[in-house]
C-alpha cells in the first residue's frame, strides 16, 4: 500500500519503513467460507520458504497480484487500540484522552457503536459533527478510527414509537428499552432504520482519510421469537424443503405424530424437540443474522473507499454456537472477535485454540476488537489478570494471527451497566495501574510492526469442525460429561506442543496443505463432506476421526450405515454400538495402552486391510476385547478411527505417531514447561514469539541466532523469560 493510501493520522509512524509485505486474498469457496486451495508444505524442521508461502496463500499475494486495499489497511501493520466513547464525555476531556492514548502507543480507536441516540437524537434529525470533530482530534494524535455502526442499541424514540421492532423472548415477553440488542433481528422495519443511519454515516465518513474501517453492529447474540419471525422461519423452511412431504421425511415426523400438514403449524421456540427442527432453526438463525449483516454491508459498500475494511466483532468468547461463524465471516473483509478471560487467569491452550479457530473463519489473519484490560465486570469473581498477563495475552493473540488488539474499554463510564469493567483510564481521566503495561505493549508493537506485518501462521496439521456437528451433539449430548470444547482441547494441546502451529478450520476447507487432520467430533457427515474427506485421504493425507463421527446426515437423522456413515467404505470398518461411560475402561494394543472415559464405541473391521490398533480390556460389559481403534491405508493416505475419548498420555502418543509417520518434526524440540512458541512466516522471514505463561523463569535455546525485535540491534541464541515474559524474534526463512 502506498503512503498516499494511509490514514493521515499514521503517516508520521511509517516513514522509512516497509508497511506491507503482503497478505493473502483467498478466492471464495461458498461452502468453505472462502480461501485459496493450498498445498502441502515441507517439513517444519526448517523454516518455510517464500515460494512455498506464496503457493499456500499464507500472508502473501499470488505473484503479480496485490492485496485488496481493505486487507492492506487491516493487515498491513500491527494495531493497538481501545474502544473510545467521546459521546459520553464533554469535548473538553477529549484532548487529554487522546494525548494519553498517543503516549501509550495506541494508533486506532473504535467509536460510535453505541451512539445512535447522539447521532440521531430524534427521528430524521442527525448530528454527525461531534463525531467528525472526534475523528479530527484523533488524527492530530496519529490515531486512526474504526466506526462501529450504532445498531446494537437503538434509541428510545425508535423503540417507543415503533414497538413492533422489539425482540420477543422465548417466554413471549417483548424486550424493553434500557439495555441493548432489544430489537428483533428479522424485523424489516428495524433493518430499514439501520440501513438509513448506516448509509448516512457512510456518506459522511466513507472517504474520510482517517477512518480505516467499519464494525457492523456489536456481538450478534439474541434471536427473537415474535410472530413475524416465526412466519419468516416457516417461509424459510418452505424455500429450503419445497414440500411438506420432504420436510416430514427429513425430520421423521412420523415419530410421536409430529407430521405437519401446513407450514404455519411448525413451531418456533427454544424448547428441546425434534433434532431436525432444532438444526434447521440454527441454520435459520445463521441465515437471519447474515441477512441482517448484509443489509448494512449493502449500505456501506457504495459509499466507502476501497481501503476501508468491513468487519464485525463476534462475541461469545469465540466458541459460542448461536450461529455459524464461518457463514457470517464470509461476507466480511476480515474476521474479528472479543477476547475475554472472565474469572481466573489466561488458559494458554484454550485461548490459543480459540484464536486459531477465529483465524480459521476466513483462513487469514484477524483482529481482536475487544480485549480484556485487566478485569471484567460480569464474571462470578471479576478478578484482575496478573501483572504482565495482559501483555502476554496480547502477544499470544499476535502469535496466533491477530494483527490488531483493541482493549475494551478506554475509560470508565460514570454510569451504565458496565461501570466496574476494567479500563486503562479511570473516571477522572487519569491512568490506572494497567496503563503502564499497555504503554509497554504499545512500544513493543511499534518496534516489531515492520517485521511482523505481512506474516501469518503456517500449519501442517489441522483440527476440523462444523457447526452442524457441534449443534447435533449439543442437542443430544447423551453424557453430561461430554464437552465438545474440552474434547477439542484434548487433541489441540498435544498437537500444539508437538508442532507449535495448529489450524482449526471448517471441515469443508481445502485440506491438501495438511499432512494430518484431526476431526474430534464430526457427528454430521453428509455425502459431499464424505467425498471431500475421502479425496484428502486418497491424495496422501492422514485423517483421524474421533468418536461420534458420521452418526448423522445433513438433516440430523441417524445414518443407516452406522458410524462413520458415508465413510464406512473408506475406513473398512464401522461402529457396532456406542456407550456413555460412567467409569474408566482400559485399552491396549499396538498403538499403546491407556484408559478410555466418558464415551466408548465397540468397533468392527470389515476388510482385511483394516487393522485393530487398540482393544478394550477383557471382562468389561459390552466392550470386553472389542476393537477400540481402527486404521486403514486408503489410496496414498491413511484413515484412523478412534472409538473413545482416551487419556492425555495415550492421546499424545497416538498423535505423535501420526505426526512422525507424516514427517512432521519441530526444529525447536521440547520446550520448557509453561513456554509457548508461535511462528509467523512471510516475505522471506520467520517471526518467533515465545511466551512464558508460568510464574518461574524459563530459558529457551534457539536452533540458530535470531534478531531480538524487542531489543533492536541485539542478536540472541538463547532467551530467558521471566514470569509472563515475552520474546519476539526474527530470522531469515530458509528454502
**Distance from chain centroid for Cα 67:** 22
Q: How far apart are CA 173 and CA 224, in angstroms?
A: 10
Q: Which of 4, 102, 15, 20 is nearest to 67 (CA)?
A: 20
Q: Which of 187, 131, 137, 185 is nearest to 164 (CA)?
A: 187
Residue 7 buriedness (CB in 10 A; 0-12 / 13-18 / 19+): buried
pLDDT of residue 85: 97
Q: Which of 292, 91, 283, 290 is nearest to 191 (CA)?
A: 292
User: Is the CB of residue 370 less than 8 Å from the CB of residue 334?
Assistant: no
Does this chain's domain 69-222+289-450 share its CATH topology with 461-661?
no
Answer whether the bond into residue 409 is a cis peptide, omega within 30°: yes
The domain at 461-661 falls in which architecture? Answer: 3-Layer(aba) Sandwich (3.40)
pLDDT digits (tens, 9 = 90+) for 613-670: 999 999 899 999 999 999 999 999 999 999 999 999 999 999 999 999 999 988 787 8
Q: How far apart are CA 420 and CA 381, in angstroms?
A: 12
User: Is the CB of residue 588 less than 8 Å from the CB of residue 550?
Assistant: no
Alpha helical stretches, state H, 38-150: 50-56, 69-75, 94-103, 116-119, 129-140
Helices 467-475 + 484-499 axis angle, to 10: 140
User: Is the CB of residue 116 less than 8 Å from the CB of residue 198?
Assistant: no
pLDDT digits (tens, 9 = 90+) for 134-143: 999 999 999 9
* Residue 452: C-alpha distances to residues 296, 395, 681, 703 (Å): 32, 12, 9, 20
pLDDT averages per 10-residue partition of the chain, 735 residues: 48 35 31 32 30 30 65 96 97 97 98 97 98 98 98 97 97 93 97 98 98 97 96 98 98 97 97 97 98 98 98 88 95 97 96 98 97 95 96 98 97 92 96 98 97 96 98 96 97 97 98 98 98 98 98 96 96 98 97 98 98 96 97 98 98 97 87 96 94 96 95 95 97 69
Partner residues linked to 616 by β-bridges: 587
Q: Checking DSSP bridges between strand 714-721 and strand 698-708, what pairing results, if any?
A: antiparallel
C-beta atoms surrounding 243 within 10 Å: 9
Q: 474 phi and psi, to 5 degrees?
A: -65, -35
C-alpha cell at 466: 462444523
Q: Which top CATH class is 675-732?
A: mainly beta
DSSP state at residue 607? S
User: Is the CB of residue 202 less than 8 Å from the CB of residue 303?
Assistant: yes
Q: How far apart are CA 143 and CA 410, in angstroms?
A: 14
Q: How far apart are CA 63 and CA 706, in angstroms?
A: 28
User: Is the CB of residue 492 less than 8 Å from the CB of residue 502?
Assistant: yes
Q: How far apart are CA 351 and CA 513, in angstroms?
A: 24
Going along 191-311, which residue ranges are E strands?
211-215, 309-311
Q: Which residues are designated catalytic? A: 219, 370
User: Is the CB of residue 581 less than 8 Å from the CB of residue 602?
Assistant: no
User: Is the CB of residue 517 less than 8 Å from the CB of residue 655?
Assistant: no
pLDDT of residue 594: 98
Element (H, E) at 407: strand 402-407
DSSP state at residue 410? S
Partner residues linked to 640 by β-bridges: 544, 631
Partner residues linked to 603 by β-bridges: 575
C-alpha cell at 13: 509512524
User: Is the CB of residue 702 less than 8 Å from the CB of residue 667?
Assistant: no
pLDDT of residue 9: 58
* Residue 134: C-alpha distances to residues 137, 217, 664 (Å): 5, 20, 52
Going along 528-584, which residue ranges are E strands?
542-545, 573-580
pLDDT digits (tens, 9 = 90+) for 591-611: 999 999 999 999 999 999 999
The domain spans of the chain are 69-222+289-450, 227-268, 461-661, 675-732
User: What is the dihedral sign for C-alpha 268, 274, 278, 281?
Assistant: negative
Residue count of the chain, please give it.
Answer: 735
Q: In terms of CATH, what superfamily is 69-222+289-450?
A: Glycosidases (3.20.20.80)
Q: Which of 191, 163, 166, 196 is nearest to 181 (CA)?
A: 166
Q: Which of 449, 1, 11 is nearest to 209 (CA)?
A: 11
Amino acid at each position: 500500500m502506498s503512503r498516499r493510501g494511509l490514514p493521515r493520522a499514521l503517516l508520521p509512524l511509517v516513514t522509512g519503513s516497509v508497511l506491507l509485505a503482503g497478505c493473502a486474498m483467498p478466492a471464495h469457496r461458498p461452502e468453505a467460507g472462502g480461501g485459496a486451495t493450498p498445498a502441502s508444505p515441507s517439513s517444519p524442521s526448517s523454516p518455510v520458504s517464500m515460494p512455498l508461502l506464496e503457493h499456500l496463500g499464507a500472508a502473501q499475494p499470488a505473484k503479480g497480484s496485490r492485496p485488496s486495499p481493505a486487507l492492506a489497511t487491516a493487515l498491513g501493520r500491527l494495531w493497538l487500540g481501545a474502544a473510545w466513547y467521546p459521546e459520553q464525555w464533554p469535548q473538553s476531556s477529549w484532548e487529554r484522552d487522546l494525548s494519553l492514548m498517543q503516549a501509550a502507543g495506541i494508533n486506532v480507536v473504535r467509536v460510535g457503536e453505541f451512539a445512535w441516540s447522539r447521532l440521531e437524537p430524534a427521528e430524521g434529525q442527525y448530528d454527525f459533527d461531534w463525531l467528525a470533530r472526534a475523528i479530527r482530534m484523533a488524527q492530530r494524535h496519529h490515531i486512526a478510527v474504526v466506526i462501529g455502526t450504532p445498531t446494537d442499541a437503538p434509541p428510545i424514540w425508535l423503540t417507543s414509537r415503533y414497538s413492533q421492532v422489539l425482540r420477543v423472548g422465548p417466554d413471549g415477553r417483548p424486550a424493553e428499552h434500557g439495555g441493548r440488542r432489544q430489537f428483533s433481528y428479522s424485523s424489516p422495519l428495524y433493518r430499514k432504520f439501520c440501513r438509513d443511519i448506516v448509509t448516512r454515516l457512510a456518506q459522511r465518513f466513507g472517504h474520510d482519510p482517517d477512518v480505516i474501517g467499519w464494525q457492523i453492529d456489536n456481538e450478534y447474540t439474541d434471536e427473537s421469537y415474535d410472530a413475524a419471525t416465526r412466519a419468516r422461519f416457516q417461509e424459510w423452511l418452505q424455500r429450503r424443503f419445497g414440500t411438506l412431504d420432504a420436510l416430514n421425511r427429513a425430520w421423521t415426523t412420523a415419530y410421536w405424530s409430529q407430521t405437519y400438514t401446513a407450514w404455519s403449524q411448525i413451531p418456533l421456540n427454544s424448547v428441546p424437540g425434534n433434532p431436525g427442527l432444532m438444526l434447521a432453526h440454527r441454520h435459520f438463525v445463521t441465515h437471519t443474522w447474515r441477512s441482517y449483516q448484509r443489509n448494512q454491508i449493502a449500505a456501506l459498500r457504495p459509499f466507502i473507499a476501497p481501503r476501508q475494511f468491513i468487519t464485525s466483532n463476534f462475541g461469545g468468547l469465540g466458541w459460542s454456537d448461536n450461529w455459524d461463524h464461518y457463514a457470517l465471516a464470509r461476507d466480511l473483509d476480515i474476521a474479528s472477535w472479543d477476547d475475554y478471560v472472565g474469572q481466573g487467569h489466561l488458559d494458554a491452550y484454550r485461548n490459543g485454540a480459540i484464536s486459531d479457530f477465529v483465524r480459521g473463519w476466513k483462513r487469514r489473519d484477524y483482529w481482536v476488537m475487544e480485549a480484556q484490560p485487566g478485569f471484567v465486570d460480569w464474571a462470578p469473581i471479576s478478578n484482575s489478570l496478573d501483572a504482565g498477563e495482559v501483555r502476554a495475552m496480547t502477544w499470544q493473540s499476535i502469535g496466533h494471527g491477530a494483527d490488531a488488539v483493541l482493549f475494551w474499554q478506554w475509560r470508565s463510564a460514570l454510569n451504565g451497566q458496565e461501570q466496574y469493567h476494567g479500563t486503562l483510564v479511570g473516571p477522572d481521566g487519569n491512568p490506572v495501574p494497567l496503563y503502564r503495561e499497555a504503554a509497554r505493549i504499545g512500544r513493543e508493537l511499534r518496534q516489531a510492526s515492520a517485521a511482523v506485518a505481512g506474516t501469518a501462521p503456517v500449519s501442517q496439521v489441522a483440527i476440523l469442525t462444523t457447526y452442524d456437528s457441534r449443534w447435533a451433539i449439543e442437542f443430544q449430548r447423551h453424557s453430561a460429561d461430554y464437552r465438545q470444547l474440552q474434547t477439542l482441547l484434548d487433541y489441540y494441546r498435544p498437537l500444539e506442543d508437538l508442532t507449535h502451529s495448529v489450524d482449526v478450520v471448517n471441515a469443508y476447507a481445502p485440506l491438501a496443505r495438511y499432512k494430518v487432520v484431526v476431526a474430534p467430533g464430526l457427528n454430521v457427515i453428509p455425502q459431499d463432506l464424505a467425498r471431500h474427506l475421502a479425496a484428502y485421504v486418497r491424495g496422501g493425507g492422514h485423517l483421524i476421526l474421533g468418536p461420534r463421527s458420521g452418526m448423522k446426515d445433513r438433516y440430523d437423522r441417524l445414518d443407516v450405515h452406522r458410524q462413520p456413515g458415508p465413510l464406512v467404505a473408506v475406513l473398512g470398518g464401522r461402529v457396532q454400538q456406542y456407550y456413555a461411560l460412567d467409569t474408566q475402561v482400559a485399552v491396549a494394543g499396538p498403538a499403546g495402552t491407556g484408559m478410555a472415559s466418558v464415551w466408548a464405541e465397540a468397533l468392527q473391521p470389515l476388510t482385511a486391510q483394516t487393522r485393530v490398533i487398540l482393544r478394550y480390556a477383557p471382562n468389561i460389559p459390552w466392550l470386553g476385547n472389542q476393537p477400540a481403534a481402527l486404521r486403514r491405508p486408503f489410496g496414498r493416505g491413511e484413515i484412523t478411527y478412534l472409538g473413545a475419548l482416551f487419556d492425555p498420555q495415550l492421546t499424545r502418543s497416538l498423535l505423535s505417531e501420526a505426526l512422525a509417520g507424516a514427517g512432521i518434526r519441530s526444529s525447536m524440540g521440547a520446550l520448557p514447561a509453561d513456554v509457548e512458541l508461535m511462528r509467523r512466516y512471510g516475505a522471506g522471514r520467520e517471526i518467533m514469539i515465545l511466551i512464558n505463561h508460568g510464574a518461574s523463569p524459563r530459558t529457551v535455546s534457539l536452533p540458530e541466532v535470531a534478531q531480538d525485535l524487542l531489543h533492536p540491534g541485539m542478536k540472541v541464541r538463547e532467551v530467558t523469560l521471566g514470569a509472563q515474559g515475552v520474546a519476539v524474534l526474527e530470522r531469515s526463512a530458509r528454502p
